[in-house]
Structures are given as structure tokens and as C-alpha cells.
């Protein structure tokens, strides 16, 4: 796809960008490699100073950074500001804890002294990152901060509809004092991934995106015997048990399903409610959804954003039509949405057969699947019937009970009495078709390091 900023609210093509040539990509990799040879020798404290400065700069100019997000992918301006703050916090997390987390680990091996067997964390080199448009800064920093803290350098292929967000982030790092080549944004085509991953200077790839992109990139990485981490789609269960505080749960469900225009990997896409409270919950949920106001995402009064592009909206319409074809009950909720802009009117899907295509599809927009569960066990069964395993939530006033349910969900994350959150200091990652590997905290930091064994041994006659 060609790189362009197209305002999803007005449909206007604001700016286009040329796709990188093979020669430009090669030059970027050479520059990254030269930078790596120096960066790997720097101390964690030196690296932390760059990240701290980046946090300071993005915070100081938060409105300008936020407006780029809203312009390019249509998220509400308040949500863009929150993303800028979250981005600053992730920089700060690694600036604060990186040195400590990278310290060697000493192993208690039989016959050796306390500090004779060390696991040290050496950087690998250039890591390729491929990121989606739904959180244009947060997605970059989630890999960039841990990778550079560990001593690696990064080349990024961002989504083709957020080229200005990617360029702004590259500029931010340079202004923060990063050497040229530490973080480079490439307007690379899909096909260029083969060139990048075949290059011996590139040591791995971290992708966030769809299952299709994940499968393609992971197989290219495998052909080149390189590691991949995949953060893919989700269809999070939002389980409401019969003892939940229903109004609170319904309010959270409205927010969990509709923030960011419903385009979050951990959106509450499948709402599963115990039979005895189903009717009341649904009534409250519909009332809440009906109050959403679609409009200009730059206007703070707007509460329902357009989708990221007209193409994304068209895809959702096709999925809704396919659901109707499978006998699913479809109901539009609230006022009609504006005809200008990539809007989808909030839509409720009920009576969804568990073996239908709809039940296993990720709807990336304001479409709610609502399921009636016979009891707690049935709710867990419905939740785990999805091919995805990213996040999930359980609503109950009995925390002990909710924790037990959480342990039975086959996902990477579960939040109790809240939709799955995105935080600077809580790790992120899924199982099944939601991918493999982790991002954030020490788990993300260790994904692309060589945990090298260094053994001191001068014990005579022993091997
Ligand atoms: P997508 O089409 O897979 O795009 C994601 C990125 O991959 C973009 O940079 C895209 O580039 C690139 N890409 C796609 N196909 C490629 C290929 N064959 N070779 C190389 N690069 C390729 O995903 P999307 O639909 O825009 O994004 C939404 C998806 O991401 C949803 O499924 C969502 O749940 C998931 N997501 C997951 C997480 C998580 O942490 N688990 C977080 C956010 C989003 P182009 O733009 O140029 O096509």
C-alpha cells in the first residue's frame, strides 16, 4: 500500500510519501549497523538519558503530537492525548528500571562459586519492527524503548496510513539525543520485508497486526532462521457473572467496546452474560451505547470516532452482512451516524451460533457480540471457544470467584471488574491466534537479547 495521510473524518488525502527503494533500505540497514557498533558499548544509564529526554519532549508538546494521531487515524483528541502520556510513561519505565533489569543473573550450579556462572544480557543488533495504525505512538514505543535499552537498534515499518506519526516519532528520538541510525522509519512495502529479514545484520522481527500479516512475517523470519514475536488480533471476552454490579459493568462494556472507535486489539468484543442478569444488562448496555455521539474527533464533545479509513468501515459492513447471512440477529443502536467520515453506527449482534464464522471473527469497529451463558461454566466455555487468546475481563463482586474464573480463561491477560487495560508497567501478550511473545516490563526487554552464559572454571580435572 502507498504511504499517505488521509483524514478519516473528511476523506481528504492530506499528504503522500514515496515508498522506500531497495537501495534506500540497504543504506538504512548499513547506518543502523554502524550505530549498533557504538550503541552496544554505551551504558544503560546513557541509554536511559535519551529515553528520559524523549518522554520530556513528547509531554512538553503533547497537543501537537496528539493532533497528528487524530488527523491520520481519527481517534478522539482526548484519547490521542492519553496515548501521548502513555508513551511518555513507557519511555520513563525503561529509563528508570532498564539498568537493574539488565544486570547479570548468577546461577547456583553444582560445584561452582556464587558468581561463577552468569547469564548476561547482550544485545543482538538490528531488530525490524512492523506496527499497526491503531496506536501509532504506543505501538512504536512498546518495542522501541525495551529494544534500545537493551542495546539494540531499530528499523520500523509503520502502517501505510500513519506516515506522519512515524516521521514525528523518528524526529522525537533525534531531538532527544539518539544517534542517527538508532531508530529509523522506513516507508517500506510489504515485499521489502523479505529483503530486510534476509539481511544478516537484521537479527529479528517484532510485529503487531493481523493474523495474516503475522503469519507472513513469521514465516519469512523462519526461512531466515530469525526470531519473531507476534502481537496479533483479539476477540476479548467480557464476562458478566450474576453477582456483578450491573450498572458499573454495563458502563465499562460501553467504554471497553467503543474507545478508539472500537479498534483496539483488547476491545471487549464478546460480551458474555449469565442468564439471570442477561436481560437487565442488555437493557443498560443499549442505553449506554445509544448515548454515544459520533462527530469530529477533534471536538472534545464527540464520544464515537470514525474508523481509521473508509476501507476499514467498508470491511465492517461486509462482516455485518455476512453475520446476517448466518442467521445472527443484527440491531443498530442510537442515532444515525454522520454521512461524512468513515463512521459505523454502533451495532449489536445476538443469537450468534458458537460454530459460526461470525463467532470467531474479530470485528475491528463498534460492533458488539453479546452472548447469553447458562451459568459460569458456560460463560468460560463460550469465552474459550474463540481462536484468539489475547485479553479478557470478568465482572463479579466476589473477587475470589472472579480470580478463579480468570485462571480458566485461555488468554494472555485478564482484568477483573475492568476491560483489559494498556499500562506502562503491566506486560502485554497473547496466546493462540493472538500471537506469541511479550512486550513491556522485563519480559519485553528479554525478547531480543542474547542471554549468554559466561562460566568461570578453573577446577582441576573436572569437566
Ligand atoms: P495489518 O493489516 O496486519 O497491519 C499491521 C502492520 O503490518 C502494518 O504496518 C502493515 O502495513 C503491515 N503488514 C500487513 N501485511 C504485511 C505483509 N504481508 N508484509 C509486511 N507487512 C505487512 O493490521 P491492521 O488490520 O491494520 O491492524 C489491526 C490488527 O492489529 C487487528 O487484528 C488488531 O487486533 C491487531 N493489533 C494487535 C495488537 C496486540 O498487541 N496484540 C495491538 C494492536 C493491534 P500496511 O499498512 O502497509 O499494510
Give the closest residue (by CA) to ligand 1 atom 11: 159
The CATH code of the domain that includes 399 is 3.40.309.10
User: Are residues 188 and 258 located together in one domain of the fold?
Assistant: no
> Strand 392-395 and strand 237-240: pairing?
parallel
DSSP one-letter string for 150-171: TT-EEEEE--TT-HHHHHHHHH
> Residue 395: left if φ>0, alpha if ψ -120 to 50, beta else—which one?
beta
Q: How many angstroms is it from 217 CA to the middle of ligand 1? A: 11
Q: Which atom of ligand 1 is nearest to the CA of 428?
A: 40
Task: Report whether residue 81 contacts ligand 1, using a CB cutoff of 6 Å.
Answer: no
How far is residue 130's CA from residue 147's CA, in Å, rounded to a whole number? Answer: 14
- Residue 111's CB is within 10 A of a number of other CB atoms, namely 9
Q: What is the pLDDT along the chain (463 residues), one digit of tens a residue?
A: 699 999 999 999 999 999 999 999 999 999 999 999 999 999 999 999 999 999 999 999 999 999 999 999 999 999 999 999 999 999 999 999 999 999 999 999 999 999 999 999 999 999 999 999 999 999 999 999 999 999 999 999 999 999 999 999 999 999 999 999 999 999 999 999 999 999 999 999 999 999 999 999 999 999 999 999 999 999 999 999 999 999 999 999 999 999 999 999 999 999 999 999 999 999 999 999 999 999 999 999 999 999 999 999 999 999 999 999 999 999 999 999 999 999 999 999 999 999 999 999 999 999 999 999 999 999 999 999 999 999 999 999 999 999 999 999 999 999 999 999 999 999 999 999 999 999 999 999 999 999 999 999 876 666 6
Closest CA to 244 of 397, 375, 415: 397
User: Are residues 322 and 378 located together in one domain of the fold?
Assistant: yes
Task: Report whether residue 193 contacts ligand 1, using a CB cutoff of 6 Å.
Answer: yes
User: Are residues 299 and 377 located together in one domain of the fold?
Assistant: yes
Task: Report whether residue 268 contacts ligand 1, using a CB cutoff of 6 Å.
Answer: no
Residue 429 lies in a domain: no
User: Are residues 164 and 180 located together in one domain of the fold?
Assistant: yes
How far is residue 159's CA from residue 6's CA, in Å, rounded to a whole number? Answer: 13
User: Are residues 53 and 185 located together in one domain of the fold?
Assistant: yes
How far is residue 100's CA from residue 83's CA, in Å, rounded to a whole number? Answer: 26
Task: Quote the number of domains for the chain.
Answer: 2
Q: How many angstroms is it from 210 CA to the middle of ligand 1? A: 5
CB 59 within 8 A of CB 90: no
Sheet with 153-157: list strands edge to edge. Answer: 183-185, 153-157, 126-130, 202-208, 227-231, 435-436
Give the closest residue (by CA) to ligand 1 atom 46: 159
Residues 6+ apart with CB under 8 A from 253: 238, 240, 268, 271, 285, 288, 368, 419
Task: Report whether residue 189 contacts ligand 1, using a CB cutoff of 6 Å.
Answer: no
Task: Report whether residue 69 contacts ligand 1, using a CB cutoff of 6 Å.
Answer: no
Task: Report whether residue 8 contacts ligand 1, using a CB cutoff of 6 Å.
Answer: no
Q: Which atom of ligand 1 is nearest to the CA of 434?
A: 41
Give the closest residue (by CA) to ligand 1 atom 43: 265
Q: How far is CA 364 from its chain centroid? A: 13
CB 393 within 8 A of CB 236: yes
Closest CA to 224 of 199, 242, 244, 243: 199
Q: Give the pLDDT confidence score for residue 458 in this predicted structure.
A: 72
User: Are residues 287 and 252 located together in one domain of the fold?
Assistant: yes
Residue 462 lies in a domain: no
Active-site residue (options: 72, 79, 131, 265) = 265
Look at residue 206 and give its three-state secondary structure. strand
How far is residue 295's CA from residue 162's CA, in Å, rounded to a whole number? Answer: 21
The yes-or-no answer on residue 265 being catalytic is yes
Q: Give the pLDDT confidence score for residue 137 in this predicted structure.
A: 99
The CATH code of the domain that includes 95 is 3.40.605.10
Q: Give the pLDDT confidence score for residue 460 in this predicted structure.
A: 66
Residue 428 lies in a domain: no
Residues 6+ apart with CB under 8 A from 47: 39, 98, 148, 149, 151
Q: Which atom of ligand 1 is nearest to the CA of 192?
A: 20
Task: Report whether residue 134 contacts ligand 1, using a CB cutoff of 6 Å.
Answer: yes
User: Are residues 102 and 212 located together in one domain of the fold?
Assistant: yes
User: Are residues 217 and 316 located together in one domain of the fold?
Assistant: no
CB 53 within 8 A of CB 103: no
Residue 34 lies in a domain: yes
Q: Give the pLDDT confidence score for residue 324 in this predicted structure.
A: 98
Residue where the block lists cell 523470519: 221
Q: How many angstroms is it from 10 CA to the middle of ligand 1? A: 23
Task: Report whether residue 159 contacts ligand 1, using a CB cutoff of 6 Å.
Answer: yes
**pTM confidence score:** 0.98
Residue 425 lies in a domain: no
Q: How many angstroms is it from 342 CA to the middle of ligand 1? A: 19
Give the closest residue (by CA) to ligand 1 atom 2: 210
Closest CA to 445 of 63, 205, 147, 234: 147
How far is residue 358's CA from residue 364's CA, in Å, rounded to a whole number? Answer: 13
Task: Report whether residue 260 contacts ligand 1, using a CB cutoff of 6 Å.
Answer: no
How far is residue 288's CA from residue 252's CA, in Å, rounded to a whole number? Answer: 10
Q: Which domain holds residue 220?
A: 3-232+434-455
Task: Report whether residue 234 contacts ligand 1, using a CB cutoff of 6 Å.
Answer: yes
Q: How many angstroms is it from 277 CA to the middle of ligand 1? A: 37
Angle at 53 between CA 49 and CA 55, to 5 degrees: 120
Q: Give the pLDDT confidence score for residue 400 in this predicted structure.
A: 98
Q: Give the pLDDT confidence score for residue 222 in this predicted structure.
A: 98
Q: How many angstroms is it from 133 CA to the middle of ligand 1? A: 8
Which DSSP category does 95 fall into? Answer: H
Residue 427 lies in a domain: no
User: Are residues 352 and 370 located together in one domain of the fold?
Assistant: yes
User: Are residues 278 and 384 located together in one domain of the fold?
Assistant: yes
User: Are residues 217 and 264 located together in one domain of the fold?
Assistant: no
How far is residue 322's CA from residue 147's CA, in Å, rounded to a whole number? Answer: 41
Q: Give the pLDDT confidence score for residue 429 in this predicted structure.
A: 98
User: Are residues 188 and 259 located together in one domain of the fold?
Assistant: no
Closest CA to 205 of 216, 440, 263, 98: 216
**Phi and psi for 44 in degrees, rounded to 5?**
-55, -30
The yes-or-no answer on residue 81 being catalytic is no
HSE-CB for 413 with a 13 A CA cutoff: 28
Active-site residue (options: 79, 92, 231, 376) = 231
Sheet with 117-123: list strands edge to edge. Answer: 105-106, 117-123, 449-455
Q: Which atom of ligand 1 is nearest to the CA of 435?
A: 41
Residue 228 lies in a domain: yes
CB 266 within 8 A of CB 296: no
Residue 209 lies in a domain: yes
Amino acid at each position: 500500500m502507498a504511504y499517505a495521510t488521509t483524514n478519516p473524518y473528511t476523506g481528504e488525502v492530506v499528504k503522500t510519501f514515496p515508498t522506500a527503494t531497495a537501495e534506500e533500505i540497504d543504506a538504512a540497514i548499513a547506518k543502523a549497523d554502524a550505530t549498533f557498533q557504538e550503541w552496544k558499548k554505551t551504558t544503560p544509564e546513557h541509554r536511559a538519558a535519551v529515553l528520559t529526554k524523549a518522554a520530556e519532549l513528547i509531554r512538553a508538546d503533547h497537543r501537537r503530537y496528539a493532533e497528528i494521531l487524530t488527523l491520520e487515524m481519527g481517534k478522539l483528541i482526548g484519547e490521542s492525548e492519553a496515548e501521548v502520556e502513555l508513551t511518555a510513561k513507557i519511555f520513563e519505565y525503561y529509563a528508570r528500571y532498564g539498568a537493574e533489569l539488565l544486570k547479570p543473573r548468577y546461577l547456583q550450579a553444582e560445584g561452582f562459586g556464587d558468581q561463577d556462572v552468569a547469564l548476561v544480557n547482550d544485545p543482538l543488533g538490528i531488530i525490524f519492527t512492523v506496527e499497526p495504525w491503531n496506536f501509532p505512538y504506543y505501538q512504536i514505543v512498546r518495542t522501541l524503548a525495551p529494544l534500545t535499552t537493551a542495546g539494540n537498534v531499530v528499523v520500523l515499518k509503520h502502517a501505510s496510513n500513519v506516515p506522519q506519526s512515524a516521521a514525528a516519532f523518528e524526529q522525537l528520538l533525534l531531538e532527544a539525543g539518539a544517534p542517527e541510525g538508532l531508530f529509523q522509519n522506513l516507508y517500506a512495502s510489504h515485499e521489502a520485508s523479505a529483503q530486510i529479514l534476509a539481511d544478516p545484520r537484521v537479527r529479528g522481527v517484532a510485529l503487531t497486526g493481523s493474523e495474516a500479516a503475522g503469519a507472513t512475517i513469521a514465516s519469512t523470519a523462519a526461512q531466515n532462521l530469525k526470531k519473531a514475536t507476534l502481537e496479533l488480533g483479539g476477540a476479548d471476552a467480557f464476562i458478566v457473572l450474576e453477582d456483578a454490579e450491573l450498572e458499573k459493568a454495563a458502563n465499562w462494556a460501553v467504554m471497553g467496546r467503543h474507545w478508539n472507535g472500537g479498534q483496539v486489539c483488547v476491545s471487549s468484543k464478546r460480551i458474555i452474560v449469565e442468564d439471570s442478569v442477561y436481560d437487565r444488562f442488555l437493557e443498560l448496555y443499549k442505553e449506554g451505547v445509544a448515548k454515544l455521539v459520533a462527530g469530529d474527533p477533534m471536538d472534545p464533545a464527540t464520544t464515537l470516532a470514525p474508523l481509521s479509513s473508509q476501507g476499514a468501515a467498508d470491511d465492517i459492513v461486509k462482516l455485518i452482512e455476512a453475520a446476517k447471512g448466518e442467521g445472527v440477529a443484527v440491531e443498530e443502536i442510537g442515532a444515525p451516524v454522520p454521512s461524512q467520515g468513515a463512521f459505523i453506527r454502533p451495532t449489536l449482534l445476538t443469537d450468534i451460533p458458537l460454530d459460526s464464522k461470525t463467532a470467531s471473527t474479530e470485528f475491528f469497529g463498534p460492533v458488539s457480540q453479546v452472548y447469553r451463558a447458562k451459568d459460569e461454566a458456560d460463560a468460560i466455555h463460550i469465552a474459550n471457544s474463540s481462536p484468539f487468546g489475547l485479553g479478557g475481563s470478568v465482572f463479579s463482586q466476589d473477587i475470589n470467584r472472579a480470580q478463579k474464573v480468570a485462571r480458566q480463561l485461555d488468554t494472555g491477560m485478564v482484568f477483573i471488574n475492568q476491560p483489559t487495560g494498556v499500562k506502562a508497567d503491566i506486560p502485554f501478550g497473547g496466546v493462540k491466534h493472538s500471537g506469541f511473545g511479550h512486550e513491556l516490563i522485563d519480559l519485553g526487554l528479554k525478547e531480543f537479547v542474547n542471554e549468554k552464559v559466561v562460566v568461570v572454571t578453573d577446577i582441576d580435572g573436572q569437566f
